[in-house]
Amino acid sequence: MRVAGSAILVAAVVLCLRTAAVPVLADGDRPISLIALPPEAGETAHESVVLSAQIESDEGPVGGLSVNFYIVTTVFGERLMKVGEALSDASGTVSVVYRPTWTGDHTVVAHFDGASGYAAAETSFHFDAQVAESAFEPADFGLNPIRRVLPFAVGMAVLVVWASLGFALVNTAMGIRSAARAAPVPSPVQASTYPVFIPPPPVAQDQTARRLAMVVALLVVVAGVPLIWFTLNVSDRGHETGVVADGLIPGDHHTEPVAGQPLPATLVRSVQTVKFDENGQPTSGSVPIPADLAITAGRVRILDSTGGRIVTVAPDGELIPIQQGRGVDGTSLKGSPAMSSLGERLFVVSARGDRIVVVDESGLIEGSIVPSLPAGQNPVAVTGIALSDTGRIWLSDAANHRVLLLNGRGEFELVIGEGVASSSDQGFDTPTGLAVDEDGNLYVSDTGNRVVKKYSSLGILLQVIGEGRLETPQGVTVNAAGRIFVSDTAARQVSVFAPDGSHLGSITDPNLEEPHIVRTDGDDLYVLDSLAGMLVFRVLEAQVSVP
């Protein structure tokens, strides 16, 4: 009773009644107090309790005030469980009915927070939950008598069957022996029944059969070797998991891409994006699902789409979050699938393509570009974004098999694609990664068609790259020399093509597991791998010479 005019709350229960006095923070010149009322006999049944309180000020009872009642739970630490809210009547009385769900001591907290003041009160009572109303309905597991009887019935049937079989076998064996004893005639075999066997005359080995045999033997050798090779050739693990082919549709059988010669590349750096502290817990910088990677001003940024943030990869491999939470306008990067850089800025596109968040080099959200698109062109699943030097924005929409071009203000300029999966010049089947070269040409990783397509900035197809060389092209990037790097997720490699589209080779490092994003920075090739994290390769110019 710290303050004059105390508030008292009473929990009226059947078995036990305790009261506690709790202060009320009075509102200026109009002090208010809560006074508890004892319950009337018979007011409570065995399954419920009336929690009641009375609000009084110096001038008497106060009506029309809202009071919340809570029970303290301890299942996960002390937590307040709201059980009801009621308004005080003209006599200042507030009461709610509470149906306890467990046996034991209950601590009640009443809370009043209004324009006229703030008050919290606490008391406790004991409740014996004989008819506790719990949501838990223990199931009678053996509700089904068949399942009780079945094992015994089946067991007996099985035993009878085994017994009959055993009987037949044992009886035959023993019977033959005893029958033999009963007939003492020592005949080797009854000649009258069994005429003496004369081996059949040897079949003339005719030449056609012999020749046929040789042909078959030859077939064995010709067919057997590839057969063994065929089965031996599956050991590259991860390969099979990467490709989940569609249902058994005729003509849908994937053809294996032609393997390119391995391209020498040195792994210069490897950063696992999920890190653990000494307790085995992931560190705050951990990125469980790295979505995209960009390099601005020499810094490597990784988009963490689950965390809704951008992290910088420090030179020592540590991941430092530079952008978390929401921008001033409430935008979040959560769920964003891709980002691109232009100058110092990062452009992060949302999954539905309805917002492109612009992040500056320090991680602050500068603002958003909201695309304005004609009806029917709204993307459903954006998988890639690329910016030209002039600030025009390309977006790939994997679900609608389209690629959209917006200007710097987000206004619609151009669309490539037919809205359905297609393998035509102006069509895609699940376009994913995008890249723009220095001339403003666009490279689209057409995953379903297993090629990379090159378009002019006006959307005219210039080139189809990597036909028969790619299995699941995803990320694509172009370096200053015009070389095209394509991450082939299922094939676990990064394929490299010359500017004219010829295949230079593939980087097949054992560390590559599911490479999905590629970016270049000078000689360095950054690969973002959904399992292996970030890998950096150095591909020397001399080694990438055109063969």
Is 193 one of the binding residues for other proteins (CB under 8 A)? yes
Is 29 one of the binding residues for other proteins (CB under 8 A)? no
> Cβ closer to other proteins: 130 or 545?
130
Cβ atoms 110, 34 nearer than 8 A? yes
Cβ atoms 504, 478 nearer than 8 A? no
Tokens representing 348? Answer: 């992060």
- Amino acid occupying residue 185: V
> Cβ closer to other proteins: 150 or 481?
150
Q: How far is the CB of 60 from other proteins (least distance, A)?
A: 33
Please give the residues from 80 up to 99 whose contact with other proteins meets the rule CB under 8 A: 80-83, 99
- Number of amino acids touching other proteins (CB under 8 A): 119
Select from 189, 328, 542, 546 the one that contacts other proteins (CB under 8 A).
Answer: 189
Which single residue is written with the structure tokens 């036909």? 467
Tokens representing 123? Answer: 């008391």
- Per-residue contact string for residues 492-531; x = within reach of other proteins by CB under 8 A: --------------------------------------xx
> Cβ closer to other proteins: 127 or 428?
127
SS3 305: coil
Is 280 one of the binding residues for other proteins (CB under 8 A)? yes
Distances in Å between the alpha carbon of 311 and those of 208, 290, 494, 517?
77, 10, 24, 16
Select from 15, 16, 45, 223 the one that contacts other proteins (CB under 8 A).
Answer: 223
> Cβ closer to other proteins: 128 or 521?
128
Is 227 one of the binding residues for other proteins (CB under 8 A)? yes
**C-alpha atoms less than 13 angstroms from C-alpha of 533 in its C-beta half-sphere:** 14
Please give the residues from 311 up to 350 whose contact with other proteins meets the rule CB under 8 A: 334-335
SS3 204: coil
Tokens representing 507? Answer: 């980087």
Select from 269, 299, 345, 352 the one that contacts other proteins (CB under 8 A).
Answer: 352
Neighbouring-strand partners of residue 97: 50
62-95 CB burial, b ≥16 within 10 A, e <16: beebebbbbbeeeeeeeeeeebeebebeeebbbb
Select from 122, 128, 354, 361 the one that contacts other proteins (CB under 8 A).
Answer: 354
Please give the residues from 140 up to 169 whose contact with other proteins meets the rule CB under 8 A: 141-143, 147-148, 150-152, 154-155, 158-159, 161-169
> Cβ closer to other proteins: 152 or 510?
152
Is 184 one of the binding residues for other proteins (CB under 8 A)? no
> Cβ closer to other proteins: 115 or 234?
234
Is 256 one of the binding residues for other proteins (CB under 8 A)? no
Q: How far is the CB of 259 from other proteins (least distance, A)?
A: 16
> Cβ closer to other proteins: 28 or 195?
195
CA angle, residues 254, 257, 262, in degrees to nearest 5: 150
> Cβ closer to other proteins: 136 or 545?
136
- How many H helices and E strands in the chain? 3, 35
Cβ atoms 347, 339 nearer than 8 A? yes
Cβ atoms 435, 443 nearer than 8 A? yes
